[in-house]
Amino acid sequence: MSVLSFTLGVFGTSILAAFLGALTGLGGGVVIVPVLCILFKMNIHYAIGASLVSVIATSSGAAASYVREGYSNIRIGMFLEVATTLGALLGAYLTAKVSGNWIGVIFGVVLLYSAWASLRKPSTGTKSPRPDSLAMRLNLRGSYPVEGSKEEYVAQHVPAGFGIMFVAGTLSGLLGIGSGAVKVLAMDQVMKLPFKVSTTTSNFMIGVTAAASAGVYLGHGYILPGLSMPVMLGVLAGALVGSRILVNADVKALRLVFSIVIVALGVEMISNGLTGRL
């Protein structure tokens, strides 16, 4: 195989992975890493490096359209980024210490969790009984548009949310993914923020979190230009098309099919890791 056909193969695969990632809300990184490892027999550290670059691209590329809708909250985002960037530093540091096989096993577990999380119904934003005093002091509140009017919200359980964000950052740095599923878990399920606010603010945070890991990855030589190029451009293209279609498509059946693919990839990563083939 020549460099050209290899590059085009990686490019096409990245488009498809990001397209499916956008439709299901999982993001491209969680799909592209196992595909590069299993299908293209790539070293997991190189795959993680290329994936992380593409994660920054999609997060930044999607931000403008999210901002226009007026759901994201910059204060909550910035505050929680302290946790995610610190976690990312720890995760990226661990990636250099932990063997590729163990990273594969952890990756597989995260894939299985993601498949389960994508099928779970979003919480309907249960009204909190009383405002959280710490959240009020930290000004972790805002309003978002609901049918023409503004609905107010205040964050709950701030320390727990902050802690889970640290874990989300660690996973992002360790596995080269956005770990949006864990970020949304922290904001939607624990901090009880409205679902739309959680997903859009999470997207905002993913880019900053990944940038913290990327600094470490660059210093360790995980980011290969020749490999990152088709992955980044492919994921960016796939995510843009995927998010356009998402607006007016019924993705229920597709989501189920995709979850099965994710489970298969997860099982494959775990078995490859346990048998020492990564």
Q: Is 43 exposed, middle or buried, given 0-12, 13-18 or 19+ CB atoms closer than 10 A?
A: middle
Applying the rule CB under 8 A, the residues between 86 and 115 that interact with other proteins are: 86, 88-89, 92-93, 96, 100
Q: Which of 138, 144, 178, 172 is nearest to 158 (CA)?
A: 138
Nearer to other proteins, 219 or 276 (CB): 219
Applying the rule CB under 8 A, the residues between 46 and 65 that interact with other proteins are: 46, 53, 56-57, 59-61, 63-64
Number of Cα atoms under 13 Å in the Cβ half of residue 68? 4
Among 19, 66, 153, 166, binds other proteins (CB under 8 A): 66
Contacts of 133 (CB under 8 A, 6+ apart): none
Nearer to other proteins, 167 or 216 (CB): 216
Separation of alpha carbons 263 and 192, rounded Å = 28
Among 97, 130, 225, 252, binds other proteins (CB under 8 A): 225
CA 84: distance to chain centroid? 12
Binding site for other proteins (CB under 8 A): 1-4, 6-7, 40-43, 45-46, 53, 56-57, 59-61, 63-64, 66-68, 70, 72, 74-75, 78-79, 81-82, 85-86, 88-89, 92-93, 96, 100, 138-139, 142-143, 150, 207-208, 210-216, 218-230, 232-233, 236
